[in-house]
Amino acid sequence: MGPKVIRKIQATNELYHKFIDPSIDTPEKFEANRLRLAKNVWHAMKETDSRECRNCHAFDTMKIDGQREKAQKMHPKAIKEGSTCIDCHKGIAHKLPDLSAASKQAFEMLKEQSRTVSYNADHLTTLATANIYLNEDDSKAAGRVLPATTVEPVDASGERVKVKVSGWSQKGAEKIIYAMKGQRIFNTALGKTAVPMVKRGETITLESTGQDWTEVSFTGFMDKKDMISDADALWSYSGELYENSCSVCHNAPSPSHFLANQWIGVLKSMVRYTALSKDEQRLLQKYLQLNAQDTGGKGQH
């Protein structure tokens, strides 16, 4: 009875603010704040273990084999993992906020930041897939730099910025520059003409796989756009993108739940249920891989 009375008082307070709060006093303002308000409710329900739901829908009173096929699959999983109702049922009783629109708005803020970035910064991070050229005036790209790849500006005096991309190359797959040795975390995909220009350093043979990995770098020219100097802002956005895309119909697992290379297959099996663009998929994959069980975010900076 106590929690019910407290919730009734809180609801009365919410009604009061509905009429006096200038940030939600019109339908347009309310829609603009819907996601923020919804997240407050989701957080509160997680804190109470979805107490308002469990009054009628407790796990121990469920007849699992009498439920729909999807529920029969998801509820035992939720019980085993200790999930709470709101982890999967965010669109119940109230209209679900437009999560994709919220993500696009957040990304536009990063794009705005990129328009004023200094290309003389120590490091820059790409927001989207971008071409890289062997020479400043080339019209044909020598390769592609993927989203969330950190590059080192070398010379920003020209129309394009000269950058160095560093990482690791696996023997037999020299066209790809990976972010970390032993992990298929893509930084750059090079064409045939660019591979001979790659500078190669120390080669390490991994005991766990027997594979040879070589520390490499490639210097080329990129257009001055879609890069930011604040990598943390991009990772913060990536975390929001993950939550917005992957926690509507199930509890999104922690990035550390899988190994970095496992995330490739896991994400591939799930993207068909989302409206993510190719670049959003690439960004999300890198975010998850760099925070995976065997990387722990070590490759972010």
pLDDT in tens, 183-223: 999 999 999 999 999 999 999 999 989 999 999 999 999 99
**Cβ(256)–Cβ(292) below 8 Å:** yes
Contacts 24+ apart (CB under 8 A), 134-143: 134/193, 134/194, 134/197, 134/220, 134/221, 135/221, 136/160, 136/162, 136/221, 138/221, 141/191, 142/190, 142/191, 142/193, 142/194, 142/197, 142/220, 143/188, 143/189, 143/190, 143/191, 143/194, 143/218, 143/220
Residue 254 pLDDT > 60: yes
In a domain, 162, yes or no: yes
In a domain, 81, yes or no: yes
Assess whether 219 and 125 both reside in one domain. Answer: yes
Residue 301 pLDDT > 60: no
Q: 181, 198, 228 — which closes off a domain? A: 228
| pLDDT band for position 31 (cuts 50, 70, 90) | confident
Assess whether 19 and 70 both reside in one domain. Answer: yes
Residue type, 240: E
Predicted pLDDT of residue 299: 44
Assess whether 153 and 76 both reside in one domain. Answer: no
Assess whether 36 and 81 both reside in one domain. Answer: yes
Assess whether 66 and 130 both reside in one domain. Answer: no
Least confident of 2-6, 19-23, 84-88, 203-207: 2-6
Assess whether 121 and 89 both reside in one domain. Answer: no
Q: How far lies 286's CA from each of 26, 234, 290, in Å? A: 39, 11, 6
Instruction: For residue 205, give its domain range.
Output: 117-228
Assess whether 224 and 122 both reside in one domain. Answer: yes
Assess whether 73 and 136 both reside in one domain. Answer: no
Assess whether 49 and 146 both reside in one domain. Answer: no
Number of domains in the chain: 2
Residue 181 pLDDT > 50: yes
**Cβ(162)–Cβ(155) below 8 Å:** yes
| pLDDT band for position 127 (cuts 50, 70, 90) | very high
Residue 84 pLDDT > 90: no
Assess whether 65 and 151 both reside in one domain. Answer: no
In a domain, 99, yes or no: no
In a domain, 149, yes or no: yes
Assess whether 75 and 138 both reside in one domain. Answer: no
Q: How far lies 72's CA from each of 59, 69, 181, in Å? A: 12, 5, 41
Predicted pLDDT of residue 300: 43
Predicted pLDDT of residue 184: 95
Q: 173, 197, 228 — which closes off a domain? A: 228
In a domain, 189, yes or no: yes
SS3 282: helix
Q: How far lies 58's CA from each of 66, 90, 105, 109, in Å? A: 15, 17, 37, 42
In a domain, 282, yes or no: no
In a domain, 9, yes or no: yes
Q: What's this model's pTM, rounded to 2 decimal places?
A: 0.77
Express each pLDDT in 130-179 by its tens digit: 999 999 999 999 999 999 999 999 999 999 999 999 999 999 999 999 99
What stretch of H or E contains 164? Answer: strand 161-170
Tokens of residue 94, six digits: 């109230």
Q: 172, 199, 228 — which closes off a domain? A: 228
Is 232 exposed, middle or buried (CB count within 10 Å of its CB: 0-12, 13-18, 19+)? Answer: exposed
Assess whether 166 and 83 both reside in one domain. Answer: no
